Amino acid sequence: MNRREVLVFGAAGVGLAASAAGGTWLRQRSRTEVDLHAHTVAYATEDKRVLVTDPALLEADSRVAEGPTTERPRERMTAFLKAAEPWLDTVPGRYVDLARNALLDLWILSDDLPAAVAGWSPPWRYVWPRDASFCAAALARVGHLDLAVGQLRYLQQVQLSDGWFEARYVPGTADPPDGRERQFDGTGLVTWAIADVRRSARRYKRDIDDQLQPLLNRSFQALSKATDGGRALPAASPDFWEVPETRTTIGVAACTLGGLVAGGELLGQPEPGQRLASVIRGSFGANGFQRYTSHGGPDGGSAFFDALGVRGLMTSGQLRSVRRALLKPAGGISPGASWKRDGISWTPATSLLGLAMARAGDHQGAREILDWIDDHRTECGSIPEKVVYDGSPAAEAPLVWSDANVLLTLDVLARS
């Protein structure tokens, strides 16, 4: 076994000691141990990506191992970064390293694939419509419009005839990897992503319209049908928690609204989005924007409103309240108040909230979250899925949705 092959074997354990919390820290009942799968992902050969468990085996600021067998992926990596340089030059200096590594991880998890996969460990090596939508938006913002449109064209190919999506797909196919229940939030997010990608395009808007019109039409029709033209909440469906649901969650409601508003702008049909905003204000809003219409406590899904550009439903103060309510010992947030009390911070939920704060105008709050993410990356600079109670990165790294959220947040700050 050579040094390059060593990259793929083994999981780098964080070695956390379990102990009872026992204090007042948000009534935590346990401090769960979670291993870090790898510090990042890199090409070990021309066509083989591997988990990097020893940072010393990979040169800094790279996702390609040294040697002649990685020349072609190295060329693609260099070209990807070069095209993003004009955007990277706008990033505040304190965040350049964070931005560069997020770009590298967005590249390594999407390079030579029809759409980005969530991560590289086997359970994550699938395309989630949610993740791919945020990746498309991020790719367009950083200067890769063609790759962004490619992500959405793949989603157009795999979309079901009724406008829904499976929860996830085997890359390059329209096949789900298992019998997991399909999710309606993907339909709203894909519709939003079309509008966001188009907004990033200085030219070629007509080309984007021509390529993605079937996806836009089918998705908008599905959103309208599911809400009776915006007059009712969509039916229950799993959301970003990815658990079965019998009641409509705020995450699904927010993604549906984001899709109706974005699609309505493109198609000249604003009324369904306006009506659904009123329904949400009178249901979720009347009870403090909890996970369900009348209960469930603060929920990370509420960040989807502002993250998707739906302004005015929640205030910046309410977003900060969500952060305080869901705060975990390491400084990030959990997916929601009724999530298991394991002391773990989740970077997807935390970074989504940061994006929402940025787009809501709370740039200080967004910077606080970026600083936290920056401080809790792996030794190779990748953003992990989780951060355990003592601040150690854990689980999957990199996680592409968190990378996309960070890039979009930095883009908002740079533009403002």
> What tens digit of pLDDT does each residue of 32-84 get?
889 999 999 999 999 999 999 999 888 888 999 988 889 999 999 999 999 99
CB-based contact 199:214 (threshold 8 Å): no
Q: What is the pLDDT of residue 30?
A: 62
Mean pLDDT over all residues of the chain? 92
In which element (H, E) is residue 393 found? strand 393-394
Q: CA dist 217 to 134, 163, 169, 393, Å? A: 20, 9, 22, 41
Determine if the peptide bond prior to 86 is cis (ω within 30°): no
Q: How confident is the model at residue 206 (pLDDT cuts 50, 70, 90)?
A: confident
What b-and-e string marks burial along 394-404, b requiring 16 or more CB atoms within 10 Å of the CB? bbbbbbbbbbb
Per-residue pLDDT band for 197 (boundaries 50, 70, 90) equals very high
pLDDT mean over 214-221 = 98
CB 117, CB 170: distance < 8 Å? no
The residue that leads in pLDDT, 360 or 202, is 360
Three-state SS across 123-181? HHCCECHHHHHHHHHHHHHHCCHHHHHHHHHHHHHHCCCCCCECCCECCCCCCCCCCCC
Cα gap 366→405, rounded to integer Å: 11
pTM for this entry: 0.93
Q: Please, are residues 58 and 398 in contact by the beta-carbon 8 Å criterion?
A: no
Is 70 exceeded by the pLDDT of residue 303?
A: yes
The dihedral over CA atoms of 317, 319, 321, 322, expressed in degrees to the nearest 10, equals 170
**How many angstroms separate the CA atoms of 349 and 346, rounded?**
6
Give residue for tokens 């869901």. 326
> What integer is the mean pLDDT of 370-384?
98
Taking 70 as the threshold, does the pLDDT of residue 300 lie above it?
yes
- Residues 358-374 have a mean pLDDT of 98
HSE at residue 39, side-chain half, CA atoms within 13 A, is 18
Mean pLDDT of 298-323: 97
Residue 249 is predicted with a pLDDT of 98
pLDDT in tens, 111-143: 999 999 999 999 999 999 999 999 999 999 999
416 confidence band (pLDDT: 50, 70, 90):
confident
Average pLDDT of 369-388? 98
pLDDT bin (cut points 50, 70, 90) of residue 204 is confident
Question: Between 284 and 30, whose confidence is greater?
Answer: 284
Q: Please, which pLDDT band fits residue 23 given cuts at 50, 70 and 90?
A: very low
Give mean pLDDT, residues 7-19. 29
Indicate if the pLDDT at residue 238 is higher than 90. Answer: yes
Within 8 A by CB and 6+ apart from 211, the residues are 149, 153
SS3 content of the chain, % helix, strand, coil (to 5): 50, 5, 45
Render pLDDT for 144-191 as a digit per residue (tens, 0 to 9).
999 999 999 999 999 999 999 999 999 999 999 999 999 999 999 999
Distance (Å, whole) CA 253 – CA 236: 9
Question: What pLDDT sits at residue 24?
Answer: 34
Q: How confident is the model at residue 345 (pLDDT cuts 50, 70, 90)?
A: very high
Q: What is the pLDDT of residues 266-293, one digit of tens each?
A: 999 999 999 999 999 999 999 999 999 9
353 falls in which pLDDT band (50, 70, 90)?
A: very high
pLDDT surpassing 90 at residue 2: no
